[in-house]
Structure 1
Amino acid sequence: MAEYRVTGLSPVVIAELIAEVGPLWHEQHQARLAARPRQRAVGAGAKHRFVFLDRLLATLVSLRHGTTHDVPACWFGVDRSTITRAIGEVRPLPAQRGCTVARGIRLRTLAEVLEHLGASDQSGIIDGTEIRVRRPTAGRKDRDKFVSGKTKQNAVKSMVLTDAEGRVLFCSPVRPGSCADITQARQLGLVKLLSEGPFVEILADAGYQGMGAQTGGRVVTPPHCKFKKDAPAWYEEMHERQRKTHSSRRIRVEHGIAHLTNWRALSRHLGRREHMSDIVQAVAGLLSHQQTATLPGSRPA
C-alpha cells in the first residue's frame, strides 16, 4: 500500500505526512468524542481496528486513483461506510497544509504566494482548470450554473498559480463551471493583492485580458490584434511571433495542471461537489510536497 504507484507519494513523504497529520487527527478525534454527552468515559469501549495509518492510506488511494470506497474497504477488511467516514475525516487535514516550496516552508494563502514570488524575484503563471462533476438533480434552482461555457459539461473550476518552472504554488477553492476565469481571480482578491503588494509579473492567457490595466501591468496577457481585417503582412507576422513568445513562457502552468489531473480524483469527480475544494487543495499540497522531496539536496543529510 505504501508503494509509490499506489499512493503517488514516496515512503519518505508518507512518513512525514504521518508525523504531521497524525497528531492533528487524534486531537480532532478526541475533541469530537468529548463534544457530545456520553455515558462512558472518553477512551472506554471497543478500540478502533481501523487505525490512523490505514485511514491515511485509504485517503491517499482514493485521491490518487479515484476508486470507489468499496475497493479500499475490501483491502482493509472494513465496511464501505467506515472508509467513507474515515476519508471525510482525514481529507481536510492535508488540504490545510498548503503547498510546499522548500523543506519546512509552505504557502497557504494567495497573499503568501505573491510575497514569496516577489521576494525571490520570480514570475508567476495563472490559469483555470475545470473538473467534471455530476449533474445537479432536476428541479434544483441553480442547476445551470455548473455548466461550463467552454466544455459544455457540468464542472467546477479552480484557479491554479505556478512558478516559472511549473511547480504548483496555489490552488483556489472551486467555483461553479459557469464562473469566468477573470471573475474568479477578482473574487480571490488578486487585483488588490497585486496592486498593493510587491511587483510580481503574472503571466495569463486571453481569459484574463483586462486585469493588466487594473494591476499596473503586473498581469501580462497575449497582445490584442489591432486590425480586425486586412492586417498588413508584417503586422500579422509580428503579432503571431509575440503570441508564440507569450505562449511558450506560460506553457509551464499547463504542465503543472497536468501533474494535478494525474490524480484521478481531479479528472472526474462522481461524489459530492461540496468536497471538491478540499480534494483540489489536498492534491496540490501532496503533489508539491512530493516534488520538493525529489529535488536535489532537499533531504536532510
Structure 2
Amino acid sequence: MADLEPVWLARKAKRAAGRPRQRKPGAGRPVKLLFTERLLMVLLYDRVYVPQEFVGFLFGVDKGTVSRGVQELGLCMAGVFRIPERQVRIDPDDLVAVFVDATEQPVNRPSRRQRRSYSGKKKRHTVKHQVVVTRKRKEPGGKQKVRIKAVSKAAKGRVHDKKMYDQSRLRIAPEVPKSGDSGYQGSNLRVPRKKPRNGALSDEEKRSNRRLARERIVAEHGIGKMKIWRIAADRYRNPPRRHTVMMKNVAGLHNRMYG
C-alpha cells in the first residue's frame, strides 16, 4: 500500500490550498495518528466492521476522526485501485475467460419506497452489485488465483441479475468467452442448460452443465473472499452513496491479497 500515501498527501494538500491560510504550515493541534496508523485503523474497520466508536477507542481518537478517515482513505484507495464498472481488460497472465455473477448485501429498511430494495431471493432489503471475475494462469504447484475485473454501480435488491447485466453494458472483447449462472438466461452469456418442461436433459447436456459449474465456481470463490471484509458482508450501516466505492475498494484489496 506504499502507493497510497502520495495520493493521500496530494488530496490533503489540495484541500488545504482551497482555503485562505490563517496560520503558518504546521501550526495548530498536532495530529494523533500517522498515515500508517490511520490506514491500519481504516483497514481494521473494513475487516471487522464494528462500530466506529469502538475503533476510535482502540486508536485513542473520537468517532469523527474514524469517520473522516474512512471517507478520505476510501476515496484515496478508489483512486489507486481503479476498479472499472464496464471495461474488462484481460492481462497477459489471465486465462482468456470471464465469469459474471451478482452479490447482495443486507441494508437497513428504507423509510420510503421499500419494495424497490426488497429482494425476493434474500427475503430482505438489500443492495446488489455485478462482479466480473477472471482466473490467473496457474503456476506449477500453486493455487488457482482469481482477479476481480469489474464491479458495477449499486442496484436495488429488487433488480434482476439479467436486467442489471443488460444495464451495465460491459465492454468485453468479442472473442473472450463469458459465463454466468442460470439467472442470466436470455443474455449473451454461456449459462447452464435448463431442463425442458415435461422433459429431461441429455447426458451430454448434464456433462456440459457440470463442466460449466466447475469453471464458474471461481466467480463465487472470488466473491466469497471479498466478503471476508465484513463491511461488504454484514448489514451495511454507512451512507448508501458510498456503497459502490466501498465495494470497488474491497475488490481492489482482494486483488492485492489474492490476485
* Distance of 1:121 and 1:264 partners within structure 2: 29
Cα displacement (A) at 1:179:
1.5
Cα displacement (A) at 1:224:
3.5
Deviation readout 1:94-144 (Å, 9 max, x if unpaired): 223337xxxxxxx64532x2x31699551111100001111112xx2x332
Question: Which residue pairs with 1:244 in the alignment?
Answer: 210
| Correspondent of 1:50 among 10, 33, 47 | 33
Question: Which residue pairs with 2:140 in the alignment?
Answer: none
Cα displacement (A) at 1:270:
2.1
When residues 119 and 255 of structure 1 are mapped into structure 2, their CA distance, relative to the original with a 3 A threshold, is closer
| Correspondent of 1:279 among 239, 242, 246 | 246
The one-letter code matched in structure 2 to 1:288 is N
Question: Which residue pairs with 1:167 in the alignment?
Answer: 147
* Distance of 1:118 and 1:221 partners within structure 2: 26
Between structures 1 and 2, the one with greater helix share: 1
Cα displacement (A) at 1:50:
2.2
| Correspondent of 2:193 among 223, 226, 229 | 223
Percent of residue pairs identical = 28
Q: Does 1:95 align with 2:66?
A: no
* Distance of 2:164 and 2:75 partners within structure 1: 22
The one-letter code matched in structure 2 to 1:201 is P
Deviation readout 1:122-176 (Å, 9 max, x if unpaired): 1111100001111112xx2x33211112112111111111114543222223211
Q: Does 1:264 align with 2:234?
A: no
The answer (yes or no) to whether the contact 2:78–2:249 under 8 Å persists in 1 is: yes
* Distance of 2:213 and 2:68 partners within structure 1: 44
The answer (yes or no) to whether the contact 1:117–1:123 under 8 Å persists in 2 is: no
RMSD of aligned residue pairs (Cα, Å): 2.3
- Residues 32-51 of structure 1 aligned to structure 2 (within 5 Å): 32-51=15-34
Question: Which residue pairs with 1:184 in the alignment?
Answer: 164
The answer (yes or no) to whether the contact 2:98–2:134 under 8 Å persists in 1 is: yes
Q: Does 1:80 align with 2:63?
A: yes
Question: Which residue pairs with 2:107 in the alignment?
Answer: 133
Deviation readout 1:40-94 (Å, 9 max, x if unpaired): 3454322212222221111100111111112221121111111111111111222
When residues 210 and 129 of structure 1 are mapped into structure 2, their CA distance, relative to the original with a 3 A threshold, is same
TM value normalised by structure 1: 0.75
Q: How many residues align?
A: 249
When residues 251 and 119 of structure 1 are mapped into structure 2, their CA distance, relative to the original with a 3 A threshold, is closer
Unpaired runs of 5+ residues, structure 2, are 136-143
Unpaired runs of 5+ residues, structure 1, are 1-16, 100-106, 213-218, 293-301
* Distance of 1:205 and 1:271 partners within structure 2: 30
